Amino acid sequence: MPSETLDLAVIIGSVRQGRFGPVVANWFTERAESHGAFKVDLIDLADTPLPLELPPLPPRLEPNMARPAEMAELTRRIDAADAIVVVTPEYNRSFPASLKAAIDWHYTEWEAKPIGFVGYSGGSGGILAVEQLRQVFGELLAHTVRDYVSFPRYYQLFDADGRLIAPEGPEGSAKAMLDELQWWGSVLRDARRDRPYHQAG
Ligand SMILES: Cc1cc2nc3c(=O)[nH]c(=O)nc-3n(C[C@H](O)[C@H](O)[C@H](O)COP(=O)(O)O)c2cc1C
C-alpha cells in the first residue's frame, strides 16, 4: 500500500434481524476499494454490544471514558480511521438507536475526521437520517462532506444477489463522495499529526 493510502471505516448502522444494511455496505465497500485511495475496514455494529447506559460523566469532562471490555475493538477501529462512511437506514425519520449509541460511546475518536453517508429507506432514501447525523457529528467536531449516496425505495434498485440494477448513478455519487473524503482525509490526517485537535488553542 502506498503511504498516502487512507484508512476508511465503513460502519453498518442497523443491527436488526433481517436488515438490508449489509447489502448496501458491501456495495459501497467495493466502490471504496476500487477507488484506489483507501484501505477499507467494514465495521458491523451488530458485532458489538452497545449498552444504552452511558458513563456517569459527559465526554467533555471525561473524554477517555471507561467502556465495556467488549467495545475495545470497535473503539480501536474507529480511532484508527482517517475517514468514515456511515451506512444508515431511516427509522421514523431518523437514524437507528444502535448508531446513536455507538456515536455517544465515543468522542475524540470522531474528532477532526471527515464523515460521509450512504442512506437507504423508503421514499426519502435515508436523507432525513443523514441530515440528523450531520448535526450530531458537528457536535463531535467532525467534518461531514457534502456529497452522499442515497437509495430511495432501495428494494427496487438491488437484485436478489445484492447487485444494483442500474449502477451508474450511485457509482457517480459514491465517487464524488470518496474524492471529497480523500481530500479531507489526507489534509486532516496531516493536521492531526502536527497539532492534535483537542490540544489546539
Ligand atoms: C422502526 C422502523 C421505522 C422506519 N421508518 C421509516 C421512515 O421513517 N422512513 C422510511 O423511508 N423508511 C422507514 N422504515 C423502513 C426502513 O428504512 C427499511 O425497513 C430499511 O430496510 C431499514 O434498514 P435495515 O433493513 O438495515 O434495518 C422504517 C423501518 C423500521 C424498522
Q: How confident is the model at residue 196 (pLDDT cuts 50, 70, 90)?
A: confident
Give the pLDDT confidence score for residue 195 in this predicted structure. 83
Which residues sit opposite 114 in a β-bridge? 143
Ligand 1 center from residue 121 Cα (angstroms): 6
pLDDT, mean over the chain: 95
Give the pLDDT confidence score for residue 137 in this predicted structure. 98
- Helix then strand then coil, in percent of the chain rounded to 5, is 40, 20, 40
Statement: residue 92 has pLDDT above 60: yes
Give the pLDDT confidence score for residue 2 in this predicted structure. 45
Statement: residue 67 has pLDDT above 70: yes
Statement: residue 193 has pLDDT above 80: yes
Residue nearest atom 2 in ligand 1 by C-alpha distance: 91
Contact 116, 137 (CB under 8 A): no
Give the pLDDT confidence score for residue 184 in this predicted structure. 98
Contact 158, 166 (CB under 8 A): no
Contact 113, 144 (CB under 8 A): no
Domains defined for the chain, CATH in brackets:
6-194 (3.40.50.360)
Statement: residue 4 has pLDDT above 90: no
pLDDT digits (tens, 9 = 90+) for 68-90: 999 999 999 999 999 999 999 99
Q: Is 20 in the pocket of ligand 1 (CB under 6 A)?
A: yes
Q: What is the dihedral of CA 74, 82, 28, 3, to 10 degrees?
A: -120
Collapsed DSSP state (helix, strand, coil) of residue 17: coil
Residue nearest atom 11 in ligand 1 by C-alpha distance: 122
Contact 77, 109 (CB under 8 A): no
Instruction: Give the number of other CB atoms < 10 A from CB of residue 17.
Output: 5
Give the pLDDT confidence score for residue 199 in this predicted structure. 55
